[in-house]
Amino acid sequence: MLDPSEILSGNILIVDDQEANVMLLEQMLRNAGYLHISTTQDPRTVCAAHAEHGYDLILLDLQMPEMDGFEVIEGLKQIERGGYLPVLVITAQPGHKLRALQAGAKDFVSKPFDLVEVQTRIHNMLEVRLLYRRLADYNRQLEQTVLERTAELRASEARFQRFTELSSDWYWEQDAQGQLTRFSGPVSEMLGIGAEGDGEGGWNADERAQLRENIASRTPFLDFIFTRTRADGSVQYLQVSGEPMFDMASRFTGYRGIGMDITERMHWRPAATPAT
């Protein structure tokens, strides 16, 4: 809800070629407590003035020389593209009311003026206009917040990925169906994801079976070591850690993990200290 002072602080423009009408409307608005009122008897200046000041309400007479109110409305629509057109038309012609509404005006008042009706329609239009602006401002802030949070998440993701790359030889993610979705390094070969047969390539079949059982049962595991024997008879050691992933509704969405080749670490032995 709006505070009454916000409505009374609305920026209003009165457009009428008749000075008496301008003075009557202006005095009525000032008596009602409105603070920011501008007037013009030249409709050709309205669009430029609205582009500069962004009026919250334009009281627009339709029958004016040189440029009528309908032409003014068309010009204002070029400024308020896709937005709310804050025009309340003033007319003595009943047939012009529907045409004005179809052209984009939001409401109308009839001549001669019923001052209570005019005040009520002005109040209601200003309230809608200001609420519309508040919503637009909120949406812009929300959009900016989303952009900022998205940028932060991408930066965080990039840091996390870089960290995993520095701390491991490969990284992987797979979906709930076991298909790789993101990975770096020879994950398919090392984990056997998508590979045919557990025992091919010199892998220790029991260790590979245990690894795949962990993944299939959605069990987290840390520093699981498995081996394979190369063609030259040497043994390759691999270490892998993984965890299941779940969404906000606790539904399983896949697996992710890291791994590295620790063969050199497993074969390294400190040199013996010579006897003294």
Report CA-CA distances (Å) from 74 to 103, 105, 157, 219: 8, 10, 49, 66
80 three-state secondary structure: coil
In the chain, which residue ranges form alpha helices assigned H by DSSP?
4-8, 19-31, 46-53, 69-79, 94-103, 115-167, 187-191, 205-216, 263-267
Two domains, one topology: 4-141 and 168-267: no
pLDDT for 198: 42
Band of residue 273 on the pLDDT scale cut at 50, 70, 90: low
Instruction: Kindly state the average pLDDT of the residues 212-217.
Output: 84
pLDDT (average), residues 82-87: 80
Instruction: Give whichever of 15-24, 92-101, 196-205, 231-240 has the largest mean pLDDT.
Output: 15-24
| Predicted confidence (pLDDT) at residue 85 exceeds the cutoff of 70 | yes
Over 50: is that where the pLDDT of 195 sits? no
Residue 153 reports pLDDT greater than 70: yes
Residue that wins the pLDDT comparison between 56 and 268: 56
Mean pLDDT of 27-55: 94
* 181-193 confidence digits (pLDDT tens): 888 777 777 776 6
More confident residue, 248 or 197: 248
The per-residue pLDDT for 132 is 83
Query: pLDDT at position 196, please?
Result: 43
The domain locations on the chain are 4-141, 168-267
What is the C-alpha separation between 214 and 197, in angstroms, rounded? Answer: 17
Mean pLDDT of the chain: 84
pLDDT at 87: 93
Total Cβ atoms within 10 A of residue 42: 12
160 Cβ contact partners less than 8 Å away, ≥ 6 residues apart: none
Highest mean pLDDT pick, 15-24, 112-121, 229-238, 254-263: 15-24
* pLDDT winner (highest mean) among 37-46, 85-94, 214-223: 37-46
| Fold (topology level) of 4-141 | Rossmann fold (3.40.50)
Mean pLDDT of 225-233: 87
Q: Which CATH architecture has domain 168-267?
A: 2-Layer Sandwich (3.30)
- The reported pLDDT for the residue numbered 270 is 58
Closest C-alpha to 61, from 73, 74, 49 = 73
Q: What pLDDT, on a 0 to 100 scale, did the predictor assign at position 167?
A: 61
Q: What is the pLDDT of residues 91-106, one digit of tens each?
A: 888 778 888 888 888 8
